[in-house]
Amino acid sequence: KCTGCGVCRRKCPESAIIGEKRECHCIDDELCVRCGICIESCKFGAIFIE
């Protein structure tokens, strides 16, 4: 579950992740290039690609 820590947002090279601190973040599918950096950076395992 996303805790809103913001690590994924800061690591995203395309700025495709939006969300306020301590709130669930969302990935903008149109900006996301599916590089996987956010998945690797999320220590909560909250991100996955279908």
CATH number at residue 34: 3.30.70.20
Cβ-based neighbours of 50, under 8 Å, separated by 6 or more = none
How much is the pLDDT for 49?
Answer: 76
Contact at 8 Å (CB) between 39 and 6? no
34: domain range?
7-41
pLDDT in tens, 1-50: 999 999 999 999 999 999 999 999 999 999 999 999 999 999 999 998 77
CA distance 50 to 4: 21
Indicate the pTM of the whole model.
Answer: 0.87
CA distance 31 to 43: 23
CA distance from start to end of the chain? 16
How much is the pLDDT for 21?
Answer: 94
Whether residue 1 lies inside any domain: the answer is no
Number of domains in the chain: 1
Whether residue 21 lies inside any domain: the answer is yes
How much is the pLDDT for 48?
Answer: 83
Whether residue 36 lies inside any domain: the answer is yes
| Angle, vertex CA 23, rays to CA 12 and CA 48, nearest 5 | 50
